[in-house]
Amino acid sequence: MAKPLLLLSVGALVVTSCGLVGSDQAEIQASLGEAPSGATTTAQSSLLPEASQQPTLEDRPVLEVLQAADQTGESTESSTTPASTTQSTAIQTTAIQTTLASTTQSEPASTTTRATTPVSSTTKPSTSEPQSTLALPSTTLPSTTLPSTTLPSTTTKPTAPDPSTSSSTPTRPGSGLTYKGVVAGGDNEITAFDNARKAVKGLFVASGVQAGNLVELSRQTSEQVNGVRPTTVAEIEQAMLGLNIGEGDACILFLTSHGNKHSWFIRGSNGLTPDKLDEILSASCGSRPTVALISACYSGIFVNPLARPNRIVLTAASPTNTSFGCAPEATYTYWDGCLITHFAQAATWEDLYRRVTGCIESKESAAAVTPSRPQAHFGAEVANMPILNR
């Protein structure tokens, strides 16, 4: 966009920034009890010390089996081998004794020595060999039974399954919330604000917000149909309170208009001040996660008053700088256009802020205008929160 033009004609000031101009400035200053400041706003912002124009980003988060042994009884091989050897020895000894016994019976008992010899030999099996044979069962299989020492020990494996680790993974804040909120345009003299209102509502719905949970407001009479309400401070407050934000819900707010160093501009009505918006959000949203997107010149005035641990605030400019793109022929303002372009690409609100800021810097550099310096606040309770229900 071309560099802002200062056209002096019958004392009127016309610029392409989104600050209040001409009679609009006098109108809002009269409502605030201030003396008109003339056409000095753009010049003042460009003469600020460089340090005061540096972007501030508050509260930015610091960026996240036992395998069973296969024992098959091979260990019993060594213990069963002596058993088989002993049994063989016993069989051989018995055979010899039987032979001796049969020989003794076949021969005549001529002497007492012959008669007593077989008796002594037949007593051997009852005193020695049978003992070793009977001892076999107690020293082999019963003492090395595998089921009691191996298989039962493997039952400890299922006590630590993989699913237990996944259940301990923390859920990202903001997931599974029901979002409710307001989208509003504050001026009816150019179409850019209502264009952005409708486009942003479409993006919210595409990201999982129910259309019935979004209240639309416009200053354009022809737009106030199908449930669209007129934009006033009272209507914004009533709309937010009427959404009945409760447990499991979250708040979303998109405001686009002109702006000054005191308020967000509403043509023909009192402007919305930072303190009043903080009061509305506190009453309607309480400690529930809340996202406020505010597009206007000097909209950085809302960052500090709205800063809370449960809130995210993105603004189109710093407290001392104007934003751009409010020409009658513009489809969107610079910031609104960058927000709409990058909304679907971003994963978190921090990611969206970086993308939109980079987009703004490119546009303003090409137009050779004083940087608007978009601002942001990310509360500790909503750090790295995904955008809506993605």
pLDDT, tens digit only, all 390 positions of the chain = 443 433 333 333 333 667 664 445 555 444 444 444 333 333 333 333 333 344 444 444 333 333 333 433 433 333 334 444 344 444 444 443 444 444 334 443 333 333 333 333 333 444 444 444 444 444 444 444 444 444 444 444 444 434 333 333 334 555 689 999 999 999 999 999 999 999 999 999 999 999 999 999 999 999 999 999 999 999 999 999 999 999 999 999 999 999 999 999 999 999 999 999 999 999 999 999 999 999 999 999 999 999 999 999 999 999 999 999 999 999 999 999 999 999 999 999 999 999 999 999 999 999 999 999 999 999 999 999 999 987
Would the CA dihedral through 345, 351, 357, 362 be positive or negative?
A: negative
3-state secondary structure of 322: coil
**pLDDT tens per residue, range 178-234:** 999 999 999 999 999 999 999 999 999 999 999 999 999 999 999 999 999 999 999
CATH 3.90.320.10 is the classification of domain 173-382: no
Q: What is the pLDDT at residue 18?
A: 74
The candidate with the shortest Cα–Cα distance to 62, out of 387, 385, 383, 386, is: 383
Please give the pLDDT value at position 176: 84
Number of Cβ within 10 Å of residue 123's Cβ equals: 11
Per domain, the residue ranges of the chain are 173-382
Q: 261 — phi, psi (to 5°)? A: -80, 10
Q: Which of 298, 364, 323 is nearest to 17 (CA)?
A: 323
Per the CB < 8 A criterion, the answer to whether 268 and 187 are in contact is no
Position 390 scores a pLDDT of 79
Torsion of CA 261, 262, 264, 269, to 10 degrees: -130
- Residue 270: closest CA among 107, 30, 60: 30
DSSP H/E element including 303: helix 303-306
Burial pattern 184-217, b for ≥16 Cβ within 10 A else e, equals bbbbbebbbbbbbbebbbebbeebebeeebbbbb
Q: Which residues have a Cβ under 8 Å from the Cβ of 57 and sit 6 or more positions away?
A: 353, 375, 376, 377, 378
Nearby residues of 245 by Cβ (< 8 Å), 6 or more positions away: 180, 251, 284, 285, 286, 288
Residue 389's pLDDT is 83
> What is the full DSSP assignment across 140-191?
SGGGG-STTTSGGGGGGGGGS-THHHHHTSPPPTTTT-EEEEEEEE--SSSS
Cα(27)–Cα(20) distance, integer angstroms = 9
Q: Please report, as a single letter, which amino acid is at residue 156.
A: T
* C-alpha closest to that of 199 among 291, 293, 271: 293
Cα separation values, 381 from 7, 254, 290, Å: 48, 21, 10
Give the span between the Cα atoms of 268 and 290, in whole angstroms.
28
Q: Residue 334: its pLDDT value, please?
A: 97
> What CA–CA distance (Å, rounded) separates 239 from 237?
5
Q: CA–CA separation, 49 vs 51, rounded Å?
A: 5
pLDDT the model gives residue 312: 98
